Amino acid sequence: MTLSTGLIFGIIFILMFIVVMATLSEGLVKLTAKHQGENPENYGVLPNDLPSMLNRGEGSPDYVSQGDHFVNLKKGFDINLLGEASLEHGIEYVHSSTYALKPKDFMGMMPIPKVVVEEGGTLKAGDVLFFDKKRPEIKYAAPVSGEMLKIQRGEKRSINEVVILADKEIEYRAYNLPDLNTVSREDLVAFLLDSGAWPFIRQRPFDIVAEHEQMPKAIFVTTFDTAPLAPSFNLTVQGKEAEFQKGLDVLAKLTEGVLHLGLDGRGVSTPSDAFINATGVEKHWFSGAHPAGNVGIHIHHVDPLNSGETVWHLDVHGVLVLGTLFAKGIFDTERVVALTGHEMPNPRYVRARQGVCIERFVTDVKFQEQKTTTDKEGKPVTINRKAIRLISGDPLTGKEIESNGYLGFFDDQIMTIEEGDYYELFGWLIPRAGHPTQNRTFPGAFAPSSIYKADTQQNGEERAFVVSGEYESVLPMDIYPQYLLRAIQANDFEKMEGLGILELGEEDLALCEYVCTSKHPVQRTLRQGLDMLREQG
C-alpha cells in the first residue's frame, strides 16, 4: 500500500469515526435533555434547523396579506425524490376505455355495498352506481357515461371494483338544480346526497365520508399538497376559477361556522388567484416541511377538534366538483394527474377523470426483469423478478395497484417506485450519499435540498416498539403519537380519545411511519383505532 493510498483510507476512516461519534453524541444529548424534562429539539450536537441557518423559510412571502393568519411550522420532513412531473409537453387529456369506482377507497364502508345497476345496464355521468348499506342516503355516482361492465369481487365476495365501459363522448345526467340563494340547508344536503357529489366531503373524526345528519362546527379546504412529488393544485384550478368560487359558496351554506381556506405560505410558488382572491372564507397560510399541506395539521392549528365536535374537509378536486355541478349542471370529475417516479419514462401531467384506467400511462414501464440466481443445488437459474411497484397516490399514503388498475377516488398522482428486495450488510452504519435521512445518519442531512431515487426498501425488519422521540420530531401537532399507538394496541378508548385520535387521519402520521426505527405499521394501527372508536359510538 502506497503512502497516498494509506492517507486516503485514513482520512475516510477519520471522517466515518467523526460522523458516527457525532450521531451518537446527538442522541445522548437529546436523551439527557428529555430525562431532565427539557424539549429535546432545543438541544443537539449537529445543526438542528439548517434551512433557518441559511435564512430560508423565515417570515411570510410577499403575496401573503398583512392581516391573514400565518403559521410557520418548525417540525416536519421533506422527502425530495427523483421523477417530478414536467410541464414540458403541456397537459394532455387522456380518456380510457374503462373506468372504475373502488368501494375500498371509502373508509368505513361495508365491504359489499349495494350496486344499483345490473351488468350491461347503461349509465350517464352522475347516475348512481352504488350506495353503502349502512348509510343508504349517500350515493356514489358514475364518473363517465357508458355500460356497466362488471363487478370485480375479492375475498368473501367483497367488491373491489365496479367497472364501466365508457362512451367516447360523455353524456351527463340532468339535474334539477336548487337556487343557491334561497335553498335551505336541509334541501341542499338532500340534493348533494342524491347527486353523487357528497362523497367528496369528508369529516374528522374518523376521516370518513361526512355524516350528513351532523352540523360541522367548521369546514376546511386545503389548496396545496406537500407530499413527495405531489402535483400543484394551481394546475387543477387553472381555467376553473369561477367554478372554485362557486364550490366555496356551496360549502358556506353547509355550516353555521367558518369556512377555512388553507394556503401555501412556503414561498416556493405563488398560489393561484382563485385561492388568493377567494371570498367568503377565512384564509390561513402555512409554511414548513411536509406535512404542512395536510388538512389535519390545519385543523389542529386553526380550530382544534374537541370531543363531540365534527369538522368537514375537502381538497380542491372536491370543491371543483361541487362548483361545476352548480355552475354548469354537470357531474364533472376531471382532474390533473401527475405521473411521477424515476422509473416513469416521461414524468408528466395528464388531464383525466376520476377512476381512469392507468394502463395507457405506463405502457413503457418495465415492471418485470430477468434475474439470474442459483437453486438449492447451486445451479444457475433465471427467474422473472418484479422490478417496479405502481402506486395510486403519493409514496407515503398511496395504495399499490396493477398496471391495468384504476386511479383512486381521492388520488391525483400515479407513481412508479423500484422494489427494494435486496439486503445491505451494515447499511445503517456506513455513511453514504443517495439516501434521505431524518436522523442525520447519512451525509444527505447536511444538504436538505438533495434529490434522491426512491425504492421500497425498509432498511430492516419490524422491531421492538420503543419510545424514541422520532415521531414527535416530524409531527407539528401537540400530540404524543407513540403513546396514542400504544393506547390503540391496548384497546384503551378513553386514553385514545384523550391523546388526540379524533383529529388524526392516516396521512397525518405517514411521516411517523417513514422515520420509525421500529418499522411499525403506524397508519394501519391508527385506522384500527379509528374504526374501533367509531364502532363504540
Q: Can you give the pLDDT of all 537 residues of the chain as single tens digits?
A: 565 666 776 777 777 777 666 666 666 655 555 555 555 555 565 554 444 344 444 568 989 988 889 999 999 999 999 999 999 989 999 999 999 999 999 999 999 999 999 999 999 999 999 999 999 999 999 999 999 999 999 999 999 999 999 999 999 999 999 999 999 999 999 999 999 999 999 999 999 999 999 999 999 999 999 999 999 999 999 999 999 999 999 999 999 999 999 999 999 999 999 999 999 999 999 999 999 999 999 999 999 999 899 999 999 999 999 999 999 999 999 999 999 999 999 999 999 999 999 999 999 888 877 777 777 777 777 767 778 999 999 999 999 999 999 999 999 999 999 998 776 666 666 666 666 766 665 555 556 667 888 888 877 778 888 877 899 999 999 999 999 999 999 999 999 999 999 999 999 999 999 999 899 999 999 999 999 999 987
The CB density around residue 108, as the number of other CB atoms within 10 Å, is 16
DSSP string, 41-91: GG--SS-S-HHHHTT-S-S--TTS-TTSEEEE--------BS---EEEEEE
Q: What is the pLDDT of residue 22?
A: 67
Q: Which run of H or E residues covers position 237?
A: helix 233-237
Which residues, listed in sequence order, are joined to residue 35 by a DSSP beta bridge? Answer: none
**CA angle 302–303–306, rounded 5-degree value:** 145
Is the Cβ–Cβ distance between 409 and 208 less than 8 Å? no
From the list 135, 141, 140, 142, the residue with the least C-alpha distance to 212 is: 135
pLDDT for residue 14? 78
Question: Cα–chain-centroid distance for residue 360?
Answer: 23
Provide the residue ranges of all domains of the chain, joining segments of one domain with +. 3-46, 458-537
Task: Check residue 57 and give its pLDDT.
Answer: 41
Q: Cα angle at 494 between 488 and 497, to 5 degrees?
A: 70
**How much is the pLDDT for 26?**
64
Question: Do the Cβ atoms of 204 and 503 come closer than 8 Å?
Answer: yes
In angstroms, rounded to a whole number, what is the distance separating the alpha carbons of residues 380 and 373? 6
C-alpha distances in Å from residue 227, one per residue of 216, 395, 511: 27, 8, 10
